[in-house]
Chains A and B, each alone.
Chain A
Amino acid sequence: MFELTVILKQPKQKSRIGAAKGRDSMASALAGLVPLSFLLLLVGCASRPLYPLPGKRYDASKKPLQTFRPYNLAHRGSNGEFPEETAAAYMRAIEEGADFIEGDVLASKDGVLIMQHDVTLDDTTDIAEHKEFANRKRTCNVQGTNTTGFFHFDFTLEELKSLGVKQRYPFRDQQYNGKFPIITFKEFISIALDAPRVVGIYPEIKNPAMVNQYVKWPGGKKFEDKFVETLHKYGYRGEYMSKQWLKQPAFIQSFAPTSLIYVSNLTDLPKVFLIDDITIPTQDTNQSYWEVTSDKYLNFIKNYVMGIGPWKDTIVYVSENYLQPPTDLVARAHALNLQVHPYTYRNENQFLHFNFSQDPYKEYDYWINTIGVDGLFTDFTGSLHQYQEWTTPSPSGEKSATKLLDKIGSMISKYRNPQT
């Protein structure tokens, strides 16, 4: 490309210096140069760039997804440290070692898929400070409850982008409030693809009944169609653990079984069936917790999903902030070859049952070693990663061997130098 500019610059200089004298001869020379430059332009654009962008790097050079220990699922990114579902939260999660970055997909008024958990913008954005939107407040029925607020489907993408995301919990770091915008599903995917190692995505088809009710797409397409289209556009495909899947790992999750069954006709990517609290029926089929966790139902749904994502307190009940004996949900799921990815793990002691002595690592230990889950949704990617690296480190051949030698060396040296 730069050769072209050099060629273009030279005639200009010449014409400035010998403007009066050489203008005629210069014109004919230029005429000859034009087809040549077009040819070079064509060649230049067709050739592969010498330094590929990170997102287009040849996959074989990227460190692959680990598959030997339970998955570290960055729930809404590293939202223990950054406002949820922002680019910063996702990039931090990747930095901290996440296997998958997780997010909830909803849609804007103009049908753009966005990363946002709540159907209302009140708790996680500065919408209240935007007087220009004050009249957009309304009341809608959300899964049987009347909810008042600013709904995502009442705002175009441009309007949503004018908002600033804030940290949901007051006891977490507030310093980034208002600094980051809502991102789109495409931006979320780009962050994953651009990572220096293979990082999977774990998007949720969120509140599909409500989204399809309020947002319409051309050509009769539904929310689920646009969702899968986006994944296809970025090359996500393949069954669980297939070669293609391992290059760009993805799980599709949803609380709505009909949506999962619907997309199973569109993509063979692995799907996970999310299960809410025992008091909440499914939003699309109005089935109770007991029905969707029965052997009969699991036997049925296993043809469409490869795992379930239950709320952890339904796997092991809690009484007076103490764990009760575990239910058989994990055992039964595993018997049907269904993975279990419970949600959600949080470091703060208010979320930790007393068995864990206010220690989040004790909770990880219980779920991974005592219950035996296959993945964990956590708000604190770094803590789970640290726990896993300390207790079941990634083996890496030569690196591991030298690490072992270092370890032995330090063990011996400590004996030689006791504290004086």
Chain B
Amino acid sequence: MTSVPGTVSSILLLLLVECAARPFYPLPSRRNDRSKQPLQTFRPYNIAHRGSSGEFPEETASAYKRAIEEGADFIETDILASKDGILICFHDLTLDATTDIAQHKKFESRKRTYEVQGKNITGYFTIDFTLEELKSLRVNQRSPFRDQQYNGKFSIIIFEDFISIALGAPRVVGIYPEIKNPVFINQHVKWPIGKKFEDKFVDTLKKYGYKGTYLSKQWLKQPAFIQSFAPTSLIYISHLTDLPKILLIDDATTPTQDTNQSYWEITSNSYFDFIKDYVVGIGPWKDSIVPASNNYLQTPTDLVTRSHAYNLQVHPFTCRNENVFLHFNFSQDPYNEYDYWIKKIGVDGLFTDFTGSLHHYQEWTNPFSMGEESASKLLDKIAYMISKFRNSYN
């Protein structure tokens, strides 16, 4: 009989060694980054607006996974907060338009009216529900003319889930989160030790390793843009992270929610000169870059030219396939719209509800070549061209 304590200690030792050892098959999100296909940086960014929201209910895990599948460079989201201070991916301050809140009788009494950017809004506000309560809801497709088959199937996700989806992708996919309605959030949600919404936002990014200036080595491993309509939030977080930031600009009638500055002021040269020290680009509403009249495009403004002169990128929002959103110049063809913005106006990125369509457009007109793969692809193409000629003489 060998000594039992001796066997036990050697077993314990082995256990220790086993746990310390690196797993042979790392989880996808812990894969060595060098094996992942890197972010493309040679053509305008395909930014999946709320995920593939043209096909799936917005800002759900499915919408984001679909966007990654379809070739998104960045997946985009809006960050708000629950009553108990958890950062969630959700666009509207109210749950009415995109969830089945109306079917949850137990929450009926939560309906409230708040003042938001000068207007009184009535509904079920995210800030009045804990995360657990929000998780009991189901997300619906906002637009009635889009696929309704996933209504009631998916739940709201949190900022950390969103990040995991990006990091879990088989290639490098960037994130594009928005500090949404920070004035309102900070008014109604409090975090311990005096932390603000913006602090928690950046904390989450840091926790998952997001850092680095635009196009730096670290940034290219985990690309991210931080966007917001509130310049003070962007300036505030510039002290917390060097990640690139984008100033979103609403239409010409809406002033900034925090500084109450007009569209004309924040798109002036002097403002660009000031804000360029904090942001790498702007995200304007596309109809303010090129106004439309009777559903026809007018002469473009000089907004893009001036931004580019200050070395500011331009990522307009939002491109959508449905003809109700397309000006007549585009002949009801979303690809003509992409072509206009990319070739004629020369933007640096596009927020689109239809990641797949933009990806197709870019692959067909400006494909990503990868050396050997491209050469054999070319040979295939030539063979195909010849074969078609041969068949036509039958």
Shortest CB-to-CB span from B47 to chain A, Å, is 14
A200 in the interface (beta carbon within 8 A): no
Q: Which of B211-268 contact A (CB under 8 A)?
A: 215
User: What is the interface residue range for chain A against chain B?
Assistant: 35 or more
Shortest CB-to-CB span from A15 to chain B, Å, is 60
Give the nearest-CB partner of A172 in chain B.
B332
B25 in the interface (beta carbon within 8 A): no
Whether B388 contacts A80 by the Cβ 8 Å rule is no
Whether B333 contacts A347 by the Cβ 8 Å rule is yes
- Jot down 14 A-B pairs with beta carbons below 8 A, ordered by A: A67-B392, A68-B392, A69-B388, A81-B331, A349-B145, A354-B55, A357-B52, A357-B55, A357-B354, A358-B146, A360-B334, A362-B360, A382-B336, A418-B215
Give the nearest-CB partner of A347 in chain B.
B332
A303 in the interface (beta carbon within 8 A): no
Shortest CB-to-CB span from B111 to chain A, Å, is 33
Q: Mark A382-397, 1 if CB is under 8 A from B, else 0.
A: 1100100011100100
Q: Name the B residues within 8 Å of A175 (CB-CB).
A: 294, 328
Give the nearest-CB partner of A418 in chain B.
B41
Q: Name the B residues within 8 Å of A171 (CB-CB).
A: 323-324
> Do A359 and B321 contact each other (CB < 8 Å), given the known contacts A391-B364, A411-B369?
yes
**Roughly how many angstroms separate A358 CA and B181 CA in the complex, as a whole number?**
31
Q: Which of A353-372 contact B (CB under 8 A)?
A: 354, 357-362
> Do A419 and B323 contact each other (CB < 8 Å), given the known contacts A67-B392, A357-B356?
no
Whether B322 contacts A349 by the Cβ 8 Å rule is yes
A122 in the interface (beta carbon within 8 A): no
A180 in the interface (beta carbon within 8 A): no
Q: Name the B residues within 8 Å of A400 (CB-CB).
A: 385
Shortest CB-to-CB span from A318 to chain B, Å, is 14
B374 in the interface (beta carbon within 8 A): yes
Whether A350 contacts B333 by the Cβ 8 Å rule is no
A51 in the interface (beta carbon within 8 A): no
A30 in the interface (beta carbon within 8 A): no
Q: Mark B128-169, 1 if CB is under 8 A from A, else 0.
A: 000000000000000001110100000000000000000000
Q: Which of A81-123 contact B (CB under 8 A)?
A: 81
Q: Mark B41-74, 1 if CB is under 8 A from A, else 0.
A: 1110000000010110000000000000000000
B345 in the interface (beta carbon within 8 A): no
Q: Which of A146-178 contact B (CB under 8 A)?
A: 171-173, 175
Q: Name the B residues within 8 Å of A58 (CB-CB).
A: none
Q: Name the A residues within 8 Å of B334 (CB-CB).
A: 358-360
Q: Name the B residues within 8 Å of A417 (CB-CB).
A: 42
In-complex Cβ contact of A383 among B149, B324, B333 (8 A): B333
Which are the 4 A-B pairs with shortest beta-carbon distances?
Answer: A68-B388, A390-B364, A358-B321, A347-B332
A420 in the interface (beta carbon within 8 A): yes
In-complex Cβ contact of A347 among B147, B149, B331, B369 (8 A): B331
Give the nearest-CB partner of A394 in chain B.
B385
Q: Name the A residues within 8 Å of B336 (CB-CB).
A: 382-383, 386
Give the nearest-CB partner of A382 in chain B.
B331
A21 in the interface (beta carbon within 8 A): no
B78 in the interface (beta carbon within 8 A): no
Q: Name the B residues within 8 Å of A414 (CB-CB).
A: 42-43
Which residues in B have some Cβ–Cβ distance to A below 8 Å? 41-43, 52, 54-55, 145-147, 149, 215, 294-295, 321-324, 328, 331-336, 348, 354, 356-357, 360, 364-365, 369, 374, 378, 384-385, 388-389, 391-392
Give the nearest-CB partner of B321 in chain A.
A358
Shortest CB-to-CB span from B254 to chain A, Å, is 28
A404 in the interface (beta carbon within 8 A): yes
Q: Mark A24-67, 1 if CB is under 8 A from B, else 0.
A: 00000000000000000000000000000000000000000001
> Do A380 and B41 contact each other (CB < 8 Å), given the known contacts A390-B365, A419-B348?
no
**Roughly how many angstroms separate A172 CA and B331 CA in the complex, as a whole number?**
9
Shortest CB-to-CB span from A68 to chain B, Å, is 4
**Roughly how many angstroms separate A80 CA and B336 CA in the complex, as a whole number?**
14
Q: Name the B residues within 8 Å of A321 (CB-CB).
A: 147
A277 in the interface (beta carbon within 8 A): no
Whether A380 contacts B331 by the Cβ 8 Å rule is yes
Shortest CB-to-CB span from B321 to chain A, Å, is 4
A415 in the interface (beta carbon within 8 A): yes
Give the nearest-CB partner of A365 in chain B.
B360
> Do A361 and B328 contact each other (CB < 8 Å), given the known contacts A349-B321, A395-B385?
no
A348 in the interface (beta carbon within 8 A): yes
Shortest CB-to-CB span from A171 to chain B, Å, is 6
Give the nearest-CB partner of A390 in chain B.
B364
**Roughly how many angstroms separate A419 CA and B223 CA in the complex, as a whole number?**
14
Q: Which of A405-420 contact B (CB under 8 A)?
A: 411, 414-415, 417-420
**Roughly how many angstroms separate A361 CA and B369 CA in the complex, as a whole number?**
22
Give the nearest-CB partner of A69 in chain B.
B388
Whether B333 contacts A380 by the Cβ 8 Å rule is yes
